[in-house]
A and B are shown apart, each in its own frame.
Chain A
Amino acid sequence: MPKDASGILSEIKKGYIINQLKNGKRGDGRSPEEFRKITIIPDYVKRAQGSAYVMLGDTKIIAGIKIEQGEPFPDTPNQGVLTTNVEMLPMAFPTFEPGPPNEDTIEIARVVDRGIREAKTVDLKKLVIEPGKKVWIVFIDIDVIDFDGNLIDACTLGALTALKTAVVKAEGMDEFKLPVDNLPISVTMVKIGNTLLCDPSVEEEQMAEARITVSTTEDGHIRAMQKGKVGSLSIDEIKNAISISLKVGSALRETYIR
């Protein structure tokens, strides 16, 4: 993540956050496993085939689904295609710049994609129009418009909600609801000191040594994982992250993705 434009303030905040953590509290008063307030508005963009506006604390993203006809990949002739793209817009943060996606953006998009792909959330076999020749291509595009940390989880929630509302339609063809099932919930944590903090804010992301995302499905299985940042985690910390993800993830699923 880019450095905060207000680097000096960050140093002061850093000390404050570390002090607060000694008392088991985070800078904003949350407990370690607590997410910020989540607001999801489904069907936010009428021109899109499916969409969602997600607010995760002060992080705001808009996810939109476009579904077009195209050629399948040669190695999967009997499957539709799913792609995930994230745009970190310059409006979202002082140091975000326009231009092609940087490595942070690519990583976020690929981790969001991995969870959804591996959970087989979208039944790509049902998206074949003419085997080997013509299939439906599902584009998940996500705009980040306000950045306050934890884009992976915000984008995953947005992508899932948008997919759930998506309808496949084209002139002269019967429209149908995009076949969506088995939704993965991603839970991202950062390690500060010896504590794992769920749903990190931008300050927590900046000062953390390591980050880990675990995506799980309702059956209690792990579908995707990604460690980020330069620090390390012990095996026990990773196992702990998995159990936190399962616990917190199932609560998130109940509340927001039902």
Chain B
Amino acid sequence: MGTESNIKLLDENGLRLDGRNEMELRPIKIETNVLERADGSAFIEWGGNKIIVSVYGPREAYPKHTQDIDKAVIKARYNMAAFSVDERKRPGPDRRSVEISKVISEALSSAVMVEQFPRTQVDVFIEVIQADAGTRIAGLTAASVALAAAGIPMRDMVVGCTAGKVDGKIVLDLSKEEDNFGQADLPMAVLSRSGEVVLVQMDGDLSVEEFNHATDMILDATKRIAQIQRDALVARYSVETQGGE
């Protein structure tokens, strides 16, 4: 956040560098079961983000001391490919990805009926192939679809979006430039039916009014994104029924 620059992120009509208005999302496309081995998988393109998510499990939690006798443990691993960003990212987990993996695991745990599978773990591998701002939310949104595609019982879907502040104005779904040079970033994810918040992080500078405005925008956007999630699952699993019985 807040790297100094002379870049103007909004033009005189209030339009953004990529021509979007403040309420507009980048194009989002989700496809399910793109991998053969995994129990479930999903591919999401969100603006310039390309992320593959695969799900394995529930399977016996290992090492054994990580088992929870009451419920399944959701283990998300968020990882960026070395070539996914401008400067090569050194492979392997760094502090940022460890934190993101943690908040994504926690967010998904609210949605999965973990109490049905004691002592097991569900692995959620999130691989960022191409990064373009908002990867944690795009990854989480796709992870929810991959879990559903794996047939894992869920009480709700997790769907997220970010909002932020650029040139003093609250806008939805930050682009890479807006993320780098903007004044605030607010990623948020909710359970799509209940609207309960399962992930929220924020950095930058927001007044309370700006925060309220940003969350209104996000909640509105998550409804649209939830529909894209549903469409992806329906496209894969709907069955044409022949007339008759």
- Interface residues, chain A, CB within 8 Å of chain B? 75-76, 103-104, 106-107, 109-110, 114, 117-118, 120, 212, 220-235, 238-239, 242-243, 246
Contact = CB atoms under 8 A, between A and B. Distances in A.
Nearest to A227: B200
Interface of B: 1-3, 95-96, 98-99, 101-103, 106, 109-110, 186, 191, 194-208, 211-212, 215, 219
A106 B203 contact: no
B201 A235 contact: no
A239 B2 CA distance: 24
Contacts of A242: 208, 211
Nearest to A246: B208
Contact of A107 (B99, B198, B212): B99
B196 A238 contact: no
B18 to A, nearest CB: 22
Contacts of B211: 222, 239, 242
User: Would you list the 10 A-B pairs with minimal beta carbon distance, nearest first?
Assistant: A232-B196, A225-B202, A230-B109, A227-B200, A103-B102, A232-B198, A222-B206, A230-B106, A106-B98, A118-B203
A224 B203 contact: yes
A112 to B, nearest CB: 12
Contacts of A117: 203
Given A103-B99, A107-B102, A230 B110 contact: yes
A229 B101 CA distance: 12
Given A227-B103, A232-B110, A238-B197, A221 B206 contact: yes
Given A110-B99, A232-B198, A223 B203 contact: yes
Nearest to A85: B95
Contacts of A231: 110
Q: Is the interface of B mostly helix, strand, loop or mixed?
A: mixed
B110 A212 contact: no
Contact of A118 (B1, B95, B110, B219): B1
A220 B208 contact: yes
A229 B207 contact: no
Most buried by A among B95, B101, B102, B207: B95
A187 B43 CA distance: 38
A106 B99 contact: yes
Given A110-B95, A224-B202, A233-B197, 14 more contacts: A103-B98, A106-B95, A106-B99, A110-B99, A117-B203, A118-B204, A221-B207, A222-B208, A225-B200, A225-B202, A230-B106, A234-B196, A239-B211, A242-B208
Nearest to B191: A232
A218 to B, nearest CB: 12
A178 to B, nearest CB: 20
B96 to A, nearest CB: 8
Most buried by A among B186, B194, B197, B198: B197
B201 A227 contact: yes
16 contacts: A103-B98, A103-B99, A103-B101, A107-B98, A107-B102, A118-B1, A118-B205, A225-B186, A225-B203, A226-B202, A230-B106, A232-B191, A233-B200, A234-B195, A234-B197, A242-B211
Nearest to B68: A3
Most buried by B among A114, A222, A233: A222
A231 to B, nearest CB: 6
A225 B202 CA distance: 5
Nearest to B207: A221
A235 B215 contact: yes
A177 B154 CA distance: 55
Nearest to A75: B3
Given A118-B1, A235-B197, A235-B219, A228 B106 contact: yes
Contacts of B198: 227, 232
A238 B95 CA distance: 26
